[in-house]
Structure 1
Amino acid sequence: MTLDQLRIFVTAARLGHVTRAGAALNLTQSAVSAAIAALENRHGTRLFQRVGRGIQLTAEGELFLSEAEAVLERAEAAERALTELSGLKRGALRLYASQTIAAHWLPPILHRFHLRHPGIALDVHQGNTAEVAAAVAACRADMGFVEGTVDNPALVAEPVATDEMVLVVGAHHPWAGSGRPDPTLLAQFDWVLRERGSGTRQEMEAALAGLGVGREALRVALELPSNEAVCSAVAVGAGATVISRLAAAPRVALGDLAILGAALSVRAFCALRPGDRRKGRAEEALLALIREG
């Protein structure tokens, strides 16, 4: 059994398709099939069954998947440890960030990091807070950055920055140009929300609850999967929202959105990492750069 065979097996299991696994690994379909067949024949166990044009793990394959992923993670950790012996001249850093952070806060920091450590390849993925936490917990990322609350004892959260949540409407909304409306009026207009599981959604509901307005009191017009979609909908009059000042700023500058009053709340941006693993040098270097401000 080789690491290459394990990588092929895990990729095929995740994608559920031999051809797609080959494309992801830059291998031919026959090479993927041969690697899987070699594993199955060597151990006399069927790992996949065909379902339509795709493949699906058997019960034995499901059990083997977690073991294969653990072996690959240990191999990657060993490779990172060897890389770190040469300092920060080469290597890779796998990051996962929630949308507000990935779109607005993190890019300038990563640019500075690249200028300082050009030999470190940065692999950055985006998801909502729940997805980031899951990626870090599953060791698909060395470190994650989130703006929502994460309740996972396997993860360590370290505050790295703060962000303001503001009440926003379109430039032509009846509230535009005024201060924050009385809380009793908040249920009288339509609202645009982020999807459940996002840090922005969590913070919005908490901020409104602090004003005595529960989620059930809101007239929800739309639930959308990104800050950009929310801002676009609000700009054309779909309703009000509570969103990061960072996310709203570009459309406010264009005159499409209006911020009503002072911030409703201040939230922390946190770095997430597995609690049972020490920080690598690249992670330490990135956190140190963030602390510099």
Structure 2
Amino acid sequence: MSFLEIRHLRTLLALAETGSVSLAASRLFLTQSALSHQLKQLEQGYGMSLFERKTQPLRFTAAGERLLALAHDLNARVAAAERDLARLRQGEVGELRVAVECHTCFDWLMPAMDAFRQHWPGVELDIVSGFHTDPVSLLLSHRADLAIVSEAEPQAGIDYQPLFAYEMVGIVARDHPLANKRCWLAEDFAGETLIHYPVPDEMLDLVRKVLRPAGVNPARRSSELTIAIIQLVASRRGVAALPYWAVKPYLERGYVVARPIGERGLSSELYAAVRGDDGGLAYMQDFLATVREQSFATLPGLTPLGAA
């Protein structure tokens, strides 16, 4: 009898996506020692190594690649079966209107929506047009069914589901003096022009978590588009703080330089807000699962969030 379990296969998928034991353990809400013990059991059971541990990122052996292929196949089959059961229980049709409050949400939201449409073709999926500073109010007035928000503020009739956390990095032109610093502190922004999206300060984690507590209020400039902000930074018109996954392609091309903000970095969070009565809908739960799965598989530097 095989001792291989679905949890083992999900561990392999997390390892493949994160490239490290520590990040995979965080993704699966396990301790690193528990995950290492699970991997040791697998290798002892099969009598061969599944990984080359001294590589970064971690690299699978031929045996590991074979189990990883099984993990991809079986995980997709299990997810499809569970969706079929959910359709039988709750039906296949519905409406899911999504409102967002973050300008960079579309980078990861659109691929997740494309995948979801294949799972639930009978659900009418749409994005509520425009950028919304208070998307939760759209839920309460039934103008939206799900809202992507950065804070889980308690509110009657609203449930929050954690999506993921991500790192915000400071970006600067390659020849800017701040490019030579290991990380940036609040005072490093004092003499700079901060370029950001045109949103209230309460929605800017850099301002809310770093600058305001330190009494730093730099000059400002705003732009609607991420690429426009990066272009302004590259032209030494100012500095900015953006999600690492959003700027990574431009870092690889050498357009700008990124540095951590603070000794421990600056972390931001995203949650899905839904009406309490809708949280149990099968297609709603599958949409949230699809968002997490797609995001963790494609965006660098994400970490899981606990329940709100």
Q: Indicate whether the TM-score tops 0.5.
A: yes
Secondary structure of 1:238's partner?
A: coil
Q: Does 1:117 pair with 2:117?
A: no
Secondary structure of 2:214's partner?
A: coil
> Compared with structure 1, are the counterparts of its residues 184 and 130 closer, same or farther at alpha carbon in structure 2 (3 Å cutoff)?
closer
**Equivalent of residue 108 in structure 2, options 105, 109, 122:** 105
Task: Kindly provide the amino acid, as one letter, of the partner of residue 271 in structure 1.
Answer: A
Q: Is contact 2:104-2:226 (8 Å) kept?
A: no
> Compared with structure 1, are the counterparts of its residues 197 and 221 closer, same or farther at alpha carbon in structure 2 (3 Å cutoff)?
closer
Shift of 1:126: 5.5
Q: What does the per-residue CA deviation read over 1:183-208, in whole Å, with 9 as the maximum and x for residues that have no partner?
A: 4332122211323337751x111332
Q: What does the per-residue CA deviation read over 1:109-140, in whole Å, with 9 as the maximum and x for residues that have no partner?
A: 22221222233332013655624223222211
Shift of 1:162: 1.3
Residue aligning to 2:253: 254
Residue aligning to 1:273: 274
Secondary structure of 2:199's partner?
A: coil
Paired with 2:130 and 2:150, the residues of 1 have a C-alpha distance of 11
Q: Does 1:141 pair with 2:144?
A: yes
Q: Is contact 2:90-2:281 (8 Å) kept?
A: no
Secondary structure of 2:128's partner?
A: strand
Shift of 1:233: 2.3
Q: Is contact 1:91-1:120 (8 Å) kept?
A: yes
Secondary structure of 2:138's partner?
A: helix
CA RMSD of aligned residues (A): 3.0
Give ranges in structure 2 of 5+ residues lacking alignment.
1-86, 297-308
Task: Kindly provide the amino acid, as one letter, of the partner of residue 251 in structure 1.
Answer: Y
Which is greater in Rg?
1
Paired with 2:151 and 2:273, the residues of 1 have a C-alpha distance of 11
Paired with 1:94 and 1:182, the residues of 2 have a C-alpha distance of 39
Residue aligning to 1:132: 135
Paired with 1:288 and 1:195, the residues of 2 have a C-alpha distance of 30
Give ranges in structure 1 of 5+ residues lacking alignment.
1-83
Q: Does 1:205 pair with 2:207?
A: yes
Paired with 2:239 and 2:90, the residues of 1 have a C-alpha distance of 49
TM-score, L = length of structure 2: 0.57
| More contact order relative to length (CA 8 Å, sep ≥ 6) | 2
Q: Report % sequence identity.
A: 20
**Equivalent of residue 167 in structure 1, options 153, 170, 189:** 170
User: Where do residues 1-293 of structure 1 align in structure 2 (5 Å cutoff)?
Assistant: 89-100=92-103, 102-125=105-128, 127-128=130-131, 130-148=133-151, 150=153, 152-197=155-200, 201=204, 203-209=205-211, 213-214=214-215, 217-261=216-260, 264-275=265-276, 277-292=278-293
Shift of 1:149: 5.4
Q: Is contact 1:146-1:199 (8 Å) kept?
A: no
Secondary structure of 1:99's partner?
A: coil
> Compared with structure 1, are the counterparts of its residues 176 and 127 closer, same or farther at alpha carbon in structure 2 (3 Å cutoff)?
farther
Between 1:161-170 and 1:184-193, the stretch displaced more is 184-193
Greater strand proportion: 1
Q: Is contact 2:103-2:224 (8 Å) kept?
A: no
